[in-house]
Amino acid sequence: MTEIMNYNVNEKGYYGEFGGAYIPEMLYPNVEELRQNYLKVMAEPEFQKEFDQLLKDYVGRPSPLYFAKRLSEKYNAKIYLKREDLNHTGAHKINNTIGQILMAKRLGKHRIIAETGAGQHGVATATVCALMGLECIVYMGEIDIKRQAPNVARMKMLGATVVPALSGSRTLKDATNEAIRDWINNPVDTHYIIGSAIGPHPYPDMVTKFQSVISEEIKWQLNEHEGRENPDYVVACIGGGSNAAGTYYHFLHEPDVNIIAVEAAGLGVDSGESAATSVLGKEGIIHGCKTLLMQTNDGQITEPYSISAGLDYPGVGPMHAHLCKTGRAEFMAITDDEAMKAGLKLCELEGIIPAIESSHALAIFEQKSFKPNDVVVVSLSGRGDKDLENYIEYFKI
Amino acid sequence: MDSCLRRNDKKMNRINQKLQEDKKLLSIYFTAGYPNINDTATIIQDLEKNGVDMIEIGLPFSDPLADGPTIQASSTQALKNGMTTEVLFEQLKDIRKSVSIPLIIMGYFNPMFQYGVDAFCKKCQEIGIDGLIIPDLPVDVYHEKYQTIFEKHGLINVFLITPQTSDERIHYIDSISNGFIYMVSSASTTGAKVGFGEEQTQYFERIGNMNLKNPQIVGFGISNNQTFTQATQYAKGAIIGSAFVKHVTNEGISNINHFISSILNHE
């Protein structure tokens, strides 16, 4: 008899050896306040009611679980797509920002800060701040601001102040540093809405729980389609890992369900231009948690690369580091080219333009064979509108 | 508790000796490898020569979360210059032949973690480093996992407190500390604010009245003689970081004496 491993966070904030809260003392009161309150607040019936109501009426949940017939025929498996791309603002990110804005209000905060890479989390944060009438400041790398002009415009229209991160490589990692510095300088009235399943405890757990609505819905939706709650496989792309965390959550302790995590290989895992953290990363500390991250031998955090801005992060959430280390999840790496082709294929076969992040998850069917009766649920985490320019450039459309 | 009272036969740590001196202490932070890779030993020697009591040698990190633009920029440049943990240790290996004041390495945890905490501490001891300041190594993790390693190598770990730190936590930090407490003057990153207002003096007084076993040294917001005098009215000493790094950026390392005498008002 083998003991069933626990994949959830423990009372000290760790997933196995990963997680914790490696933060400067200046952040301790903020993070501690959140740690002491988040579970209590989330358990309040009033909170749950408001959260569920907004997810239904404002976000448009439940998102469909769609049986992709032509894709299934092509790859000879039963492929379902969890349509997070149909959410308001176009991705799964809003599940978390709705939850955190309600949390911030319960904690009496009236100033919201966030980091963003491609701008999806920034837009989702600006959206809920507008909804609640709260001040919103979004940190975004100077380079990303130039690359993602439409999302910058969206955030501004929604009333957010977009502050360029000018330090380091001027991308997501540096935007996160700037948001953390803002929080250090504004310790009393500000809540930091982290957009991924990273950061100091309790963030990875809190974000995972807000995103877990994805797998909660998959269970009953799959039951309607297939007469069973558990698929054979759940598949999601991983940058920091929030859509993956939500997609896996209710299946973590279901041994029949295989978990596949898809990382961005960029130009190739060994090319020097990659974001495949599970292969290239080592244990270390990034943005307040112990996890796997890409770094030099000297412990300096390095710059990842992926065509997809949402996967272009040098670390991975601590829960995923644990799933990797324990072997609970199978990690696969997909290159830019493979992802772009898979994205176009979905357009052709199913009439859906996916976000390039999600295209990585779709690309595994070219690499891995399934049995005809295997039920494979893929998280289609976002829609491709934001990536049109990339698609146009890549395919010379 | 008895592990906190490090009374063994070895001679007293230089930090503890310095803290017993009947004077207000000036501690200076600089980023190792900045402005030039080989400035480290020269800066340390000059600081001592000009009357500085204690030095924090900044081990640069790619993502210094608690630092403002000045120290970030110096860290980025130092890394570009080729600074690494290994290089720093090499530069410091003979430092004790010429320098006798306490030397503290200040840096983020990841580079130390990659070097190996035990190996890092051992190397510090060999060189004659007296203490470490690691802003993102939390007190409880240190206490649980690393305190015995630090103590085995005779290193003092210095913790930060801020105006938001609760009395209960300050007492806990005091109980774990065995050198001094780094009293961050306001909730901010380094170099963000200059000078002290009512809020700071109240906070300094509050801490002063807590009768802590460890003396306090104030950091953040000190840049000149006025702020140094203000801070040391309430505390054993004060630390200057960003203002010194700015001075070095603007004037190079040949005029360190000007900067220090302007702080100590020798002119």
The answer to whether the beta carbons of residues A60 and A356 sit under 8 Å apart is no
Percent of chain A with pLDDT over 90: 92
Q: Please tell me what DSSP assigns to residue A330.
A: E
3-state SS assignment for residue B251: helix
Given pLDDT bands bounded at 50, 70 and 90, which one contains residue A169?
Answer: confident
| ipTM metric | 0.94
Please write the tens of the pLDDT for every residue from A210-231. 999 999 999 999 999 999 999 9
**What are the backbone dihedrals phi and psi of residue B217, each rounded to the nearest 5 degrees, phi first?**
-125, 130
Q: Are B183 and B219 in contact (CB under 8 A)?
A: yes
Residues of chain A with C-beta less than 8 angstroms from the C-beta of B61: 299-300
- Which of the four pLDDT bands, split at 50, 70 and 90, describes residue B190? confident
Find the mean pLDDT for residues B144-173. Answer: 97
Decide if B189 and A184 are in contact by the 8 Å CB cutoff: yes
- Catalytic positions of B, please? 56, 67
In this prediction, residues A106-114 reach a mean pLDDT of 97
Contacting residues of A for B164, CB less than 8 Å apart: 26, 28-29, 187-188
For the sheet containing A375-380, what is the strand order? A65-67, A78-83, A375-380, A233-237, A258-266, A329-335
pLDDT of residue A4: 67
For residue A20, the chain B residues in CB contact (below 8 A) are 138, 141
Distances (CA, A) of A337 to A11, A264, A267, A342: 42, 11, 8, 9
Q: For the residues B182-194, what does the mean pLDDT come to?
A: 87
At residue B126, does pLDDT exceed 70? yes
CA distance B8 to chain A (A): 30
For chain B, give the mean pLDDT.
94
Q: pLDDT value at position B3?
A: 45
The closest alpha carbon to B77, from B262, B233, B245, belongs to: B245
The C-alpha atoms of residue A196 and residue A67 are separated, in whole angstroms, by 27
